[in-house]
Structure 1
Amino acid sequence: MLVLPTELTHATATACCRMLAQALRSDPAGHAVADASALRQFDSSALAVLLECRREALALGKTFSVAQLPPRLRELAGLYGVGELLPPAA
């Protein structure tokens, strides 16, 4: 499980991306789940981070989903037309 921080903004996105990519590469599981339940403060950079995680997961031959995406971020993903790229975890 990839756990997102409570704050994910432009200022923290690069470091968060690096941390999540490293976690993806070290986890042998075939499915990657990003847990967004802790997200409280975020901007569109959170979407960029999730999309990069998805790209990295697919490059590693893994499937990708997101658990507990905050409603505001789900709305933002829909507005940008990328909602279907961030499927909810089962």
Structure 2
Amino acid sequence: MINTRDLNSPRRSPTPLMTFTKHNCIINLQKNGDVQNRIKQKSENLLFDELDQYNIKLNFDEIDDILDRYVATAIIRLPDA
């Protein structure tokens, strides 16, 4: 399990995915489906790259679940700009 305190540590450098997500956060991220879809598409591309790099095999339902959880977390954790 990931220790969430480590995720907030100033010593961690931002991942490309988090940088992209923060850059695309705008007013009403919670209600803006277009931004949520953009974030999901970009994160899907980055996820596939990581899965290929580490030779990890996931089915599409597992990938969709990861992406849904990521977007839900971004909605909660990243304040509207």
> Into which bin does the TM-score normalised by the smaller protein fall?
0.3 to 0.5
The answer to which structure has the higher strand fraction is 1
Identify the structure with bigger relative contact order (alpha carbons < 8 Å, sequence gap 6+). 2
The answer to which structure has the higher helix fraction is 2
Q: TM-score, normalised by structure 1?
A: 0.33
Q: TM-score, normalised by structure 2?
A: 0.36
